[in-house]
Amino acid sequence: MAEHFEVRGGVPTFLYEIFGAEDLLLYVGVTQSLKQRLNGHRATKPWWGEVAYVQHTSYDTRAAAIAAEAETIRTREPKYNVMHSTINLKAEPAQKLRPTMSAVVPATRVHAHRWQGGWELHVDGEAVTHVGTLDAAAQQYRDYLDTKEPDRGHDTERVVIVPVLGDLDAEVSAVRLVADRASSAWAMAEMRLQRTAKRLHDLGYSAADCATLLDVPSNQIDGYIHPQEKTPI
């Protein structure tokens, strides 16, 4: 799985809120890739069938989004969130008391500079190691820590890779922003397609008519009408 990347230049972070029927808040989360995160929920969450719609707000920094997420969970108590919620010792004690890594361990910011062999990794302005490609940068930094502190495991070390792109910073940030907004719009449109297709079919419209009415390929309409059953995680 690719590590989370923060690109210098102001890549936004999204706070997303997932709602069920009658505007019931089901879940709140933070991501920089909304479509990918929602697709992940769709594939793994047993409660996904309850989803009616999603709305999101963008923040300039991840810290601001996480702070808003914590406040939303504390004050509005989404049905399926655990992190930041009030601990109930009688209800799900093991799950409620198990700390999440992001809640207790600060992330190390590692700046990646291009060099002839790939990327040189810097921490606090000092070059510490190097790696061929960015997708392996976080694990390479953890491996570096293992060599420095062989008696301590670093597999759960939180690492944020910050590529240093020079003149390309602004361009890459702008492209990511546009792509994230497009992904967000598509994810929300797909959810509405599924909901409407199923409603039409339940009212007696044929699959072919549903495809024509919604202007989607006929080979996709069955997936909207009969969404795959979700397996509880």
**pLDDT tens digits, 122-176:** 999 899 999 899 888 888 888 888 888 888 777 777 888 889 988 888 888 788 7
Length of the chain counted residue by residue: 233
Helices (H), the chain: 34-44, 62-76, 93-97, 101-104, 137-148, 169-202, 207-214, 218-225
Specify whether the backbone of 125 is left (phi greater than 0), alpha (psi in -120 to 50) or beta. Answer: left
Give the list of residues 6+ apart from residue 9 with CB closer than 8 angstroms, or none. Answer: 165, 169, 170, 172, 173
Q: Kindly list the domain boundaries of the chain, sorted by start residue.
A: 13-100, 108-157
Q: How many CB atoms lie within 10 A of CB 230?
A: 15
Write out pLDDT tens, residues 44-103: 888 898 999 998 888 877 777 888 888 888 788 888 886 544 433 333 343 433 444 444
CA-CA distance, 81 to 47, in Å (whole number)?
A: 12
**Confidence category of residue 218, pLDDT binned at 50, 70, 90:** confident
The predicted structure's pLDDT at residue 227: 66
Percent of the chain with pLDDT over 70: 82
Q: What class does CATH assign to 13-100? A: alpha beta
Is 208 strand, coil or helix?
A: helix
CA-CA distance, 45 to 82, in Å (whole number)?
A: 14
Higher confidence at residue 24 or residue 181?
24
Q: Is the distance from CB of 28 to CB of 68 less than 8 angstroms?
A: no
Q: Please, what's the b/e burial string for 159-181 (b: 16 or more CB within 10 A of its CB; e: otherwise)?
A: bebbbebeeebeeebeebbeebe
CA-CA distance, 127 to 120, in Å (whole number)?
A: 7
